[in-house]
Amino acid sequence: MTYESFKQQLADQLRTFFSADTHISIQQFPHNNHLVLDGLTILEPGINISPTIYLNQYFEQFRNGTKLSDIQQQILQYYHRHCPLNSIDTDFFTCFDQVSPRIVYKLIHFEKNRELLREIPHIPYLDLAIVFYCLVPEAPYENASILIYNNHLAYWNISKDTLMELARKNTQILLPWRCSPLAELIRPALELLPEQEQASTYEILEEETVPMYVLTNSQQYFGAACILYSNALYDISRSLQDDLYILPSSIHEVILIPASMAEHPTELASIVQEVNITEVAPDEILSDSVYYYQQESDQVTSAES
């Protein structure tokens, strides 16, 4: 069965589980880093929002032998776990006074998103771009947001500078930063390992000669933007009494390493590139670069400069 036939049959079969006036559709959704995925949405009568169910991964399951009926049940289960009970009021987005307190920013890679950047307001930053989105109030999904496009600025009659001014203030308040030792974040997951493996892994963590810290925001969502917050890197570097190497783990967080503790700084970029290839989803990769924060100048630069 081809992918197109798979999508069509899946949608047709799903329609038998809903009323005739339920709208089931499959559309292409652009993602970060020029990735486009096919998303299925189910809009039941009187509801104007639906979880997007991406089908690419399900087709891989099908190709690997999973029955179409089993995939259908997986999708139904996912939908019923995440389906909203009520519509959301989208009228707020037409009123700038209601939107302005919810405007925040995130970081994406500049070159990998060049096409998207033609359509949205942005500010270049290193090899990245600062872009803007609006947190949806009282949304049924965690981290629901609306990306801000150039036509929104024209509609609201505001400038990109105004957008940046609002986002600089709002993001730090709505999504405060937090920084934790990497070993501390790993420990809870180790409890799932057999006791012998737990003990040996704890020992490795205790002997770790290069301490690493994870910087993200309170939602762990687009948290790499915390490197833009006023005083975040400064406070962390003062606490550690050291400058910092910044490794972009993903769009959601960065890894900080005290500069004096990095034994082989030139190898850090290779580590980031390897992790991006093997561990990070393509649409969540931020950059292959490594950055350097100098406390004295309070500036972030490329580690290669």
- The full set of domain ranges for the chain reads 3-82, 91-174, 177-302
Distances (CA, A) of 57 to 10, 53, 213: 13, 10, 32
Dihedral of alpha carbons 108, 223, 156, 48, sign: positive
What percentage of the chain reaches a pLDDT higher than 90?
66
Give the residue-averaged pLDDT of 249-263: 92
Sheet arrangement for strand 244-250: 177-181, 213-217, 253-258, 244-250, 291-294, 299-302
Mean predicted confidence (pLDDT) in 294-301: 95
Q: What is the per-residue pLDDT for 201?
A: 58
Cβ atoms of residues 141 and 82 within 8 Å = yes
Interval 221-235: pLDDT, tens: 999 999 999 999 999
Report the predicted TM-score, pTM, of the whole model to 2 decimal places: 0.84
- For residues 1 and 85, which has the higher predicted lDDT (pLDDT)? 1
Confidence (pLDDT) at 162: 96
> Which pLDDT value is given to residue 2?
92
Backbone angles phi, psi at 40, to 5 degrees: -95, 130
Q: How high is the pLDDT of residue 141? A: 58
| SS3 of residue 230 by DSSP | coil
Report the candidate in 178, 179, 152, 180 with the shortest Cα–Cα distance to residue 166: 152
Tokens of 15: 């329609």
Question: Does the pLDDT at position 89 exceed 80?
Answer: no
The pLDDT, as a whole number, for residue 30 is: 85
Mean pLDDT of the chain: 88
Secondary structure letter of residue 35 according to DSSP: E
* Sign of the Cα pseudo-torsion (154, 155, 157, 158, in order): negative
The pLDDT assigned to 196 comes to 60
